[in-house]
Structure 1
Amino acid sequence: MTMPAERPGRVIWRDGEFIPWDDAVVHVNAVGHASVSAAFEGVHAYWSPTRRQLLGFRLRDHMRRLVDSLRLGSLRPSFDADELTAAAAGLLARVGAPGRDVYLRPWGFAAGLHREQMVPAGTRAEVVIDSWDFTSKLGQGQTCALAVSSWPRLNSSASPAGLKVFSNYHNGRLGTIDARSRGADWPVFVNANGEVTESSGACIVMVVDGTLCTPDPGSGILDSITRRSVFELAAEAGIPTRTRRIERTELYLADEVFLLGTAAEVLPVVSVDGFAIGDGAQAGPVTRKVESLYHQAVRGALSTHEAWLTAVEPGSA
């Protein structure tokens, strides 16, 4: 992702205050060990041209997961999910602008200077929320190719898959490097049993006979907020969904495959390990339907899911 130029007057939320972006610094010695247990979230806020508002998508759900990740990592957050949701909305009001979608990056790390290799349990977590503009891929016809990674999925018995911490994502980084060295865009991770888990920071969904199939939580996957949302939308639209164990060869023969996640949104897959998916060039009909439903939901065009949205007036702070 290419970072855009910073806009003048940009601010960041840090431990209860909105401060100038340039002032949000820590000492270099506070970075290394404190980052080991650092937890994070990625949240999108979509501009609604009809409502003239920024719509934060499932803000509280993401903040609840952030707090849970910090607690599972034995850090002590000073803010609850409601307080962090209000902070994120306040930041959107300050940094948002008409016509622009915004990416929020809330994260927490061990506060203070740490020279011990292991940050002690119960250490207070400093929490910050950063933001930048992003360009949505929804409705743009983008596709990707996958390759099964030579690196297996991180073992959940060693570090819980539900723990959304930076250290777990090194597994995703290695897999992405591996996939791209072989001409693909993103990896497919399998677990110790050879079962499909997820991609790098994204869920994997295959379509078989019109049914959305995704690996079950016991396979070693993150409990994805985006996946929960899409499966609910699909069920309402009469598209069957199923959660089960998936073998890698099933992906090769699937009618359709797509990735799901905050960053991935709904990203169609056109090949896996060189096996063409569908026509090998574009999204299939079920994927297009799912993408359309999700796009409507995040832009506030579905009245049935207003509870998922936090509406913010840019410039109102």
Structure 2
Amino acid sequence: MSAGYGRLIWRNGVLMPWEEATIHVSSVGHASVSAAFEGVHSYWSSTRETLHGFRLRDHMQRLLESLRLSWMEPEFDADALVAATVELLASWQTTGKDLHIRPWGFAAGTHRQQMVPRGTPAEIAIETWEFESKLGQGRTCTLAVSSWPRFNHGASPASMKVFSNYHNGRLGNIDAAARGADWPIFLNTNGHVTESSGSCIALVKRGRLVTPSLSDGVLDSITRRTLIQLAQEELGLEVETRSVERTELYLADEIFLMGTSAEVLPAVSVDGIPIGDGKTAGEVTQAIEACYHDTVRAATHKYDEWLTPVHLDRTPGAPGLFSPTGSSDARSSK
């Protein structure tokens, strides 16, 4: 039985059975370079007994920006997509579980052109599934500087979170695994550090937090934004966003990856060179991870503006803002 069987998926204003949300194999627009996506976590708060989407609106806004940079025209605005996601999460009727959210947009209809033309309407779908957070479990990883450079973000902007940009990351993953490392680190064509595949990178040196500048071809990661703010406000750290040289990785006191899926992932070596004691996360990284954990788990009220609560008090199929009947009034008012 398929892992999604029995669940719901949101598609263009309608909640429908997961197994019915199909697209024809000839729909080039779905699989082509035009498709954009987001990855969002929703975390269960045991203190509030509520599921919360973390920075959900920020993710939806970035999805729409990626589609617009791809010259497609989505029909929904960010608030409508947030409301749709809350409705979809509530349909699970599950307590104590964390849920991952995958919204994506792609060219509507079946296109025979080699490239999807400008102004094509965008379909949007939202899927959810359970995931297990790794925060606070003491995990670590090893890194290798990739033999593949980061793609030229002047040709395909790094600010676009599109599937096509992630083929570069896939090649880097294969390269890192072949060299006995867990994840790659990409350099740009100027030799500056950019990011890993699907996550950004930060290093700690003499008590300062350093992370590559967006202008070097780094995705404007929402987790990156979050951790920079937490490091400054909660830990009082000085944060530098600037170009980072490869050798700085080898001389760093601490290194960690950061992203929705990576969360906060400490690195213990780069190209076989130990970082810190080469075995465990450093003190600053542990402190940042603890702050992030408390924030996403709603253990503090200080950052409640980042949390979208989902009240699991509805019976499956009950009428709502987005119901299986297809009724919806939350479309963008362009």
Question: TM class, shorter-chain normalised?
Answer: over 0.9
1-structure distance, mates of 2:170, 2:215: 22
Which position in structure 2 is the counterpart of 1:298? 296
C-alpha separation between the residues in 2 aligned to 1:49 and 1:96? 16
Distance 1:33 1:84 in 2: 19
Structure that is richer in helix per residue:
1
What percentage of residue pairs aligned between the two structures are identical? 62
Partner of 1:312: 310
Name 1:246's counterpart in structure 2.
244
Query: Considering only aligned residues, what root-mean-square deviation do their CA atoms show, in Å?
Result: 1.3
Gaps of 5+ in 1: none
Q: 1:152 aligns with which of 140, 149, 153?
A: 149
How many residues get paired? 314
Counting only pairs closer than 5 Å after superposition, residues 119-138 of structure 1 correspond to structure 2 as: 119-138=116-135
SS in 2 for 1:304: coil
Match of 1:162 in 2: 159
Name the TM-score, length of structure 1 as normaliser.
0.97
Residue aligned with 1:283, SS: coil
Alignment partners' CA distance in 2, 1:260 and 1:21: 30
Query: For the structure 1 residues 159 and 96, does the alpha-carbon distance in structure 2 shift closer, same or farther, using more than 3 Å as the test?
Result: farther
Q: Does residue 1:201 correspond to 2:191, yes or no?
A: no
Structure 2's unaligned 5+ residue stretches are 316-334
Other-structure match for 1:103: 100
SS in structure 2 at match of 1:136: coil
Give 1:205's aligned amino acid.
A
Q: State whether residues 33 and 114 of structure 1, in contact with CA within 8 Å, keep that contact through their aligned partners in structure 2.
A: no
The equivalent position to 2:22 in structure 1, one of 9, 25, 39, is 25
The equivalent residue for 2:283 is 285
Tell me whether 269-278 or 94-103 shows the greater mean CA deviation: 94-103
* Paired AA for residue 34 in structure 2: S
Q: Kindly tell me: are residues 130 and 101 of structure 1, through their superposed partners in 2, closer, same or farther at Cα, counting changes over 3 Å?
A: same
Query: What is the alpha-carbon distance in structure 2 between the residues aligned to residue 31 and residue 143 of structure 1?
Result: 39
Report the more deviating stretch, 235-244 or 61-70. Answer: 235-244
How far apart, CA to CA, are the structure 1 residues paired with 2:313 and 2:188?
47
- The AA in structure 2 aligned to 1:163 is M
Structure 1 Cα separation of the partners of residues 195 and 271 of structure 2: 15
For 1:226, the equivalent position in structure 2 comes to 223
- Rounded to whole Å, the distance in 2 between the matches of 1:141 and 1:308 is 25
Partner of 2:233: 236
Contact 1:188 1:199 in 2 (8 A): yes
Letter in 2 for 1:235: Q
Runs of 4+ in structure 1 off by over 6 angstroms are none
Matches of 2:157 and 2:102 in 1, distance apart?
21
Does the CA-based 8 Å contact 2:30-2:106 persist in structure 1? no
The 10-residue stretch of structure 1 (26-35 or 130-139) with the greater mean CA deviation from structure 2: 26-35
Pick aligned residue for 1:186 from 180, 183, 187: 183
Aligned-partner Cα distance in 1 for 2:51–2:93: 7
Report Cα offsets for 1:93-145 as digits up to 9, x if no partner.
Answer: 01251111000000000000012111010000000001110010100111100
CA contact 2:193–2:212 (8 Å) conserved in 1: yes
Question: What TM-score comes out, normalization by structure 2 length?
Answer: 0.92
